[in-house]
Amino acid sequence: MSAVNAAEAYTPAMTDFRSNAVLKSVLKWGLWAAFNAFALYLVVVLYAQQQTAFALLGLVVTGIASYVFISKRAYAHRYIYPAVAGMLIFVIFPLLYTVGIGFTNYSGSNLLSLQQAQTYHLQQTYVSGARLPFTVHRNDGGLRLQVAQPDGSVLVSEVLAQGAEPAQIELSLSTADSSLGEALPLREVIALRKQLEQWVFVEPNGELLRLYGLREVAAVRPLYRLLENGDLLNNRSSERLTLDTQQGFYVDSRGNTMAPGFTVYTGWDNFSRVLTDPSIRGPFLQIFAWTVAFAALTVVFTLAVGLVLASLLQWELVRGKAFYRMMLILPYAVPAFISILVFKGLFNQNFGEINLVLDSLFGVRPDWFSDPTLARSMILIVNTWLGYPYMLLLCMGLLQAIPRDLYEASAIDGASPVDNLLRITLPLLIKPLMPLLIASFAFNFNNFVLITLLTSGAPDIIGATTPAGTTDLLVSYTYRIAFQDSGQNFALAAAIATLIFILVGAMAWLNLKLTKVKV
């Protein structure tokens, strides 16, 4: 009896559990399907917009996601998926994309795709016929354009959407059935000019009208016609614009390029320019040499200062270690972007405090920002100030591991502190320090923030065709080529970035070998 009761009591709970499980799995698969559908939609949209690289990225990231979160075998991978996806999207993909750009002519003048450039040219018009006066009216909560015909009748446009995207919109005109009210004063038309210029109006007979000055619209015709081989024919002068897929431009009969250009694959052009064009190779090699010197000297200086300080603090007869330590790592605690800017002000030639002190002591006011040698010395001084606390901390940790009796033995032999430092401490420290020194070298090799905030690369190298400065590091050099107003040569910057990737990759690999990372 009781067993039956128990069984009966169980049944609702069981079905409850089962329906719960069903609900759960439906929910799970539903979510999975919705996620995949959305992802696929995005990928297709991107692909349709000819963003193949981005479509591929989306496909890889979402593909891995939908596998990892559905397969039982990939349970552990669910934990690492977000981090790996983060690296994939924001580190590895940009890396590959940058290398890819290095093989194109992507730049400020060649931003568009071929299709976009073609569309732009085909939208150009020329004035072909009569000019007609127009007025703008506010009506039905929007703007309407009224064009007076030569025969006295008027044509009226549909309501113009205000604040629309800058594109050419065709609006049909029709004969007016009622009055539109007061015309807008000229002052408001001037304010609307930019917007009005974007629209092309279509007359009932198919003629195109476009804004011509502030009081008239004019009949216009498309300037170009697309030929079968991709060339453009000028409708007015019947001149032919040849499609040049080598340069990424339309070229007229005299060989002039027509802006805007489009992005094309150019092979090794950028790389060979860096290595053979004297006006690029010269600055490039000079900047490369300075970058290596800067990184190496920084490591040497910071290590020297840090090691000496650590050895002094290590001495058990010195008291107040906590105080010294606190004071000495202060430069490390201040955010770098603030201390770099502080130094920029202190080194100012005219009212910087450093020159005031030098002036009162020695009567000199060095121009730290215009003289290449002085600018470089200033950068090294500032970077030593910024970087020695890290070496100090490293050395203090590693010094604990050196047996004290070595120093005792050397003291018995009558060695000086300098002997101790150079013959015992340094040789014993250098091996565990090596990977960290390489990491520090690599970090300073790419120390973009220091250069950008302190000198921005100034003073400039004379005779360079790209923006290049005597204190620029390779990273800030590529940044300036890509993002400074005059340049915007993304492709050249990407080619140089690719060269840096190879160097950094070599350093990373060497570092991994030396540390013998165990995973």
- Taking CB under 8 A as the criterion, the residue among 337, 423, 431, 486 binding other proteins is 337
> Three-state SS for 254?
coil
CA atoms within 13 A on the CB side of 66: 17
DSSP 425: I
Residue 26: its H or E element: helix 2-48
182 burial (CB, 10 Å; 0-12 / 13-18 / 19+) is exposed
**Minimum gap (Å) between residue 200 Cβ and other proteins:** 25
Secondary structure (DSSP) of 261-290: -B--B-TTHHHHHHHH-HHHHHHHHHHHHH
CA distances from 284 to 74, 237, 370, 471, 476 (A): 47, 45, 20, 12, 12
Q: Using CB under 8 A, which residues numbered 427 to 486 contact other proteins?
A: 436, 439-440, 442-443, 446, 448-449, 452-453, 475-476, 478-479, 482-483
Shortest separation between residue 386's beta carbon and other proteins, angstroms: 9
Task: Determine if 79 is a binding residue for other proteins (CB under 8 A).
Answer: yes
Q: Which of 14, 33, 159, 326 binds other proteins (CB under 8 A)?
A: 326
Question: What is the closest distance, in whole angstroms, from the C-beta atom of residue 460 to other proteins in the complex?
Answer: 14
Looking at 10-18, 59-67, 172-180, 388-396, which segment touches other proteins (CB under 8 A)? 388-396
| Burial of 128 from C-beta contacts in 10 A (0-12 / 13-18 / 19+) | middle
CB atoms within 10 A of CB 379: 24
Q: Which of 329, 424 has the CB closer to other proteins?
A: 329
Closest CA to 208 of 134, 128, 121: 128
The reply to whether 497 sits near other proteins by the rule CB under 8 A is yes
- Which of 156, 352 has the CB closer to other proteins? 352
Question: Within positions 101 to 160, which residues make up the interface with other proteins, using CB under 8 A?
Answer: 101
Interface positions, 90-109, toward other proteins (CB under 8 A): 90-95, 97-98, 101
Q: How far apart are CA 451 and CA 471, in angstroms?
A: 7
Nearest one of 439, 449, 454, 437 to 509, comparing CA atoms: 439
Pick between residue 284 and residue 390 the one whose CB is nearest to other proteins.
390
Q: CB 15 → other proteins: shortest distance, Å?
A: 24
Query: Does residue 303 touch other proteins according to CB under 8 A?
Result: no
165-166-167-173 Cα dihedral, nearest 10 degrees = 80
Interface residue with other proteins among 114, 171, 336, 399 (CB under 8 A) is 336
Q: Looking at beta carbons only, is 60 or 507 nearer to other proteins?
A: 507
Map 334-397 to HEC letters. Answer: CCHHHHHHHHHHHCCCCCCHHHHHHHHHHCCCCCCCCCHHHHHHHHHHHHHHHHHHHHHHHHHH
Nearer to other proteins, 198 or 348 (CB): 348
- Indicate whether 401 belongs to the interface with other proteins (CB under 8 A): no
* Binder of other proteins out of 202, 428, 507, 514 (CB under 8 A): 507
One residue of 309, 379, 464, 495 binding other proteins per CB under 8 A: 309
Query: For residues 161 and 312, which CB has a smaller minimum distance to other proteins in the complex?
Result: 312
**Cα 518 versus chain centre, distance:** 34
CB of 473 to other proteins, least distance (A): 10
**Least CB distance from residue 281 to other proteins, whole Å?**
20
Residue 8 or residue 316: which is nearer to other proteins going by CB?
A: 316
At closest approach, how far in Å is the CB of 325 from other proteins? 9
Closer CB to other proteins, 125 or 339, in the complex: 339
CB-side neighbour CA atoms (13 Å) of 493: 23
Binding-site residue total for other proteins (CB under 8 A)? Answer: 99
Residue among 270, 339, 425, 471 that touches other proteins (CB under 8 A) = 339
Question: Backbone phi, then psi, for 406, in 5-degree steps?
Answer: -60, -45
The SS3 assignment for 250 reads: strand
Residue choice 318, 370, 377, 403 for contact with other proteins (CB under 8 A): 318
Q: Which stretch binds other proteins (CB under 8 A): 186-194, 290-298, 328-336, 422-430?
A: 328-336
- Looking at the Cβ atoms of 184 and 504, the one nearer to other proteins is 504
Is the distance from CB of 216 to CB of 209 less than 8 angstroms? Answer: no
Q: Judged by CB under 8 A, does residue 34 bind other proteins?
A: no
Is 393 a residue that touches other proteins (CB under 8 A)?
yes
Would you say 229 or 362 has its CB closer to other proteins? 362
- Residue for token pair 């450039």: 117
Q: Is 268 in the site for other proteins (CB under 8 A)?
A: no
Distance of CA 132 to the CA centre of its chain: 48
Shorter beta-carbon distance to other proteins: residue 155 or 493:
493
Least distance from other proteins to the Cβ atom of residue 85, Å? 9
Q: Which helix (H) or strand (E) holds 190?
A: helix 186-196
Q: Residue 25's beta-bridge partner residues?
A: none
**Residue 209 or 295 with smaller CB distance to other proteins:** 295
